[in-house]
Structure 1
């Protein structure tokens, strides 16, 4: 199987500069999406030739952002589309050769979303993009508003920017612990609602249902806040 990639960047020739992650950091970043991911599973995927991390002189594995995106694609095809490794290898070959693969069981739009890279940011890059200090990020992490990690999804830029604007109004991350607790309770409520309908967790349908419920809850929450602030 070819080791380069187009829509999913090359495993042996990763596109773009950036920090290289240890296997522990990769697990920390991906286990939120793929709870059954383990070091042995990562090593197995490497043994099968599906991903080829770099190696230090001491033999330690180092993963680029390209490797992480490739792993996310592999794991998504396994979990959501039940594809065997042989078929996943064929999909990766298509991607590596710059073609748009046909993913069994996936609609064309779904396939595009699966293959779309999700950029990761290091802590320093996140600070540069938002202007946040290292101390401020630490406070947000301590309050549970950001993941305790060295790499962050690109969505974190908008979150940190919002936190900085709130801090200018005197609402610091420490004050927002209650918001995090409320969000976690809402997440539990949504998960229970989805599971009670017999939709298996971790599937595309369960994700779509959960996000739809979350959007409705956001509408209700906004209405409550508006009435509380305006007296109407």
Structure 2
């Protein structure tokens, strides 16, 4: 064994790799990733030693320090700057009080739901227009409807003024279903994973793909209209 490798192995004895730290903390912090551990290092929460090859090695004290920081962040909603200052006081031999917890964000009110009569009133739609939208599959009949259905009905009202009826736009619903299938196919690798980070990333990518598909569709429509009006 080369001398450098022997020294590196000897100096790393009893220390943990980033993967081992992640394995020990993940049961209590399922959303934790190696990227988050590296971010905590950048933020000055922990300073692992480095081997001659540049690999991070964490002591048991580093492990417990990370556990404390993650607990303060999760249970007390503390920003990392406050946690860092608290740990600095501990390092200096002081006995600081546990930082005052920041109250959790206020609960977001439940989205409003609209009964049939409220939907008609809010959108300005005639009952027959709603019936047509339901019969063509543009809207699914329900006891109550979300805000997005109100917005959809308002659009149908505007289209109806120009003679464009729900049966004429039924193909748009079918196109939307195909768009969803495309997005689902693209997200398949992320959706197969159950960790919170992958799910969050899937939501971001879904939003981005939806915007891009809307842009492509709008471009096609504008180009066709330009040819029509030129």
With structure 2 as the length reference, what TM-score do the two structures score? 0.49
More helix by share: 2
Q: Determine which structure has greater relative contact order: mean sequence separation of CA pairs < 8 Å that are 6+ residues apart, divided by chain length.
A: 1
